Chain A
């Protein structure tokens, strides 16, 4: 589905643009039925759809952030650390086992 805000081609099924965060569907203010962003009238109840309903306040487009190489390296090392901690939290050593068995 093409984003009405940035024209990014999104995979089907998403509610928000994965590029800019804009809503890819809007709800009819009258009956609540979902509509495509470029629909002018609700297919369910025929009421006019407001353009303002296109983007919810909490989903206003977020400007793309530029990451430096240092930022990327920090994020990658953070991700590695989180993975290590996830693995460590799921596996036990003999001391942990002894505590578990009292």
Chain B
């Protein structure tokens, strides 16, 4: 994945939880999220840990790996949406089979970022996430 040298100056108070069994990916996505402007970023290495952190950290957004040990991404997604359906879930997965992607869509995923991805694509997704959250803030104020 190519990292852009451009530094973004935006800053967001939204809380982001990134769940992925790859330590390298967790480091990478944390870096990308912070570079984009998300200051509160927490990570988890599997679905079980993820759901525990979801309860304590109360994220606005979850970046969710599709395939993880202990509990697969689809189960985690359904559980998260069952706990709080307003949480934005971005599935980050290399799964490209139509059936699998549709399952995530039907499970309530808001966005789907296919691995591997370019930073520009990540930023596009992150902008969509922020737009949704800010749209909600304006609607509720």
Contacts and interface: CB of A to CB of B under 8 A. Distances in A.
Nearest to A97: B112
Interface in B101-126: 101-102, 105, 109-114, 117, 121
Contacts of A66: none
Contact of A101 (B99, B109, B117, B121): B109
Interface string A41-63: 00000000000000000000000
Given A97-B101, A100-B101, A101-B105, A91 B111 contact: no
Contact of A90 (B97, B105, B114, B117): B97
Interface residues of B, number: 15
Given A97-B112, A97-B114, A101-B110, A91 B96 contact: yes
B114 A93 contact: yes
A101 B111 contact: yes
B67 to A, nearest CB: 16
B114 A91 contact: no
B98 interface: yes
Interface string A78-102: 0000000000011111101100110
A93 to B, nearest CB: 7
A93 B95 CA distance: 10
- 10 tightest A-B CB contacts, nearest first: A91-B96, A97-B112, A94-B114, A92-B96, A90-B98, A92-B98, A92-B101, A101-B112, A91-B97, A101-B111
Interface of A: 89-94, 96-97, 100-101
20 contacts: A89-B98, A90-B98, A91-B97, A91-B98, A92-B96, A92-B97, A92-B101, A93-B96, A93-B114, A94-B113, A94-B121, A97-B101, A97-B114, A100-B102, A100-B105, A100-B112, A101-B105, A101-B109, A101-B111, A101-B112
